[in-house]
Amino acid sequence: MTVHHPQSPQFFLTSPSPCPYLPGRAERKVFTHLVGERAPGLLDLLSQGGFRRSQNIAYRPACEKCRACISVRILTDEFQPSRNMRRILKTNSDLVGELRGAEPSSEQYSLFRSYLESRHASGGMAEMSVLDYAMMIEDSQVDTRVVEYRKRGPDSGFTDDRSGELMAVALTDVMSDGLSMVYSYFETEAQERSLGTYMILDHIEKARRMGLPYLYLGYWVKGSKKMDYKIRFQPQEHLTPKGWERYQG
């Protein structure tokens, strides 16, 4: 007979569903609930084991015949931006992003809808209502922040950082050993800014300033064009059967 401690997390397995990254394959996930005062510590522990958070759920792939999803984290102290990344930082020097409370707004939702319609019109999030969006932001029992990236400075005509045009948003968890980028979206018409890359660069710097050694980027899938961008941020570690190991690519 198996006895569970009342506060021990219970894990569940999803039914197979189509893989969003590799065509023709099915995925399954193992998950548990993040609830109560133990949620932050549990998220820390599970993130080190390759789990990700979605609202009050922590999950990771548990596919029977596939191990393509690899957990990735960037070593913030050692990271040095490439020449192209430095150009992106310079291009976006008129933006400011600040870690704030996890509070949704109609302005955020408008940008979120525009992003989905441009990039993921047929994806699983395409039908999210404003209430669904609010739940995505607020339904967390860990230290979750929203980073709003807005224009600032004389070139944009704004002097108040909170009044500038909203260009990008990141939903971010603050953990004991790093920041974890849960979800991000941006103004897709501003292609010259490479805002997706910029937000990662900014989060690396934020983690470094906070004394946090890692930026968790979720899963990298070799052969998936959706995931190719993650491998450009070096040095990084990948979670292997032996534990976290520096990626030698």
| Residues 94-134 pLDDT 10s | 999 988 999 999 999 999 999 999 887 666 677 889 999 99
**3-state secondary structure string, 70-138?**
EEEEEECCCCCCCHHHHHHHHHCCCEEEEEEECCCCHHHHHHHHHHHHHHCCCCCCCCCCHHHHHHHHH
| Residues 185-223 pLDDT 10s | 999 999 999 999 999 999 999 999 999 999 999 999 988
CB count, 10 Å around CB of 176? Answer: 13
Residue 5 has pLDDT above 50, yes or no: no
Report the distance separating Cα 143 and Cα 121, nearest Å: 30
Local confidence band at 162 (pLDDT 50, 70, 90 cut-offs): low
- Please choose, from the candidates 80, 67, 96, the residue with its C-alpha nearest in 3D space to the C-alpha of residue 199: 96
pTM for this prediction: 0.90
- For residue 77, the model assigns a pLDDT of 97
| Residue spans per domain, the chain | 12-71, 73-246
Residue 81 contacts by C-beta under 8 Å, 6 or more apart in sequence? Answer: 89, 201
CB count, 10 Å around CB of 227? Answer: 19
Local confidence band at 74 (pLDDT 50, 70, 90 cut-offs): very high
Mean pLDDT for 161-182 is 91
Report the distance separating Cα 210 and Cα 173, nearest Å: 13
Which CATH superfamily hosts domain 73-246?
Gcn5-related N-acetyltransferase (GNAT) (3.40.630.30)
| Residues 14-49 pLDDT 10s | 999 998 888 889 999 999 999 999 999 999 999 999
Local confidence band at 64 (pLDDT 50, 70, 90 cut-offs): confident
DSSP letters spanning 4-20:
--TTS---EEPPPEE-S
**3-state secondary structure string, 214-231?**
EEEEEEEECCCHHHHHHH
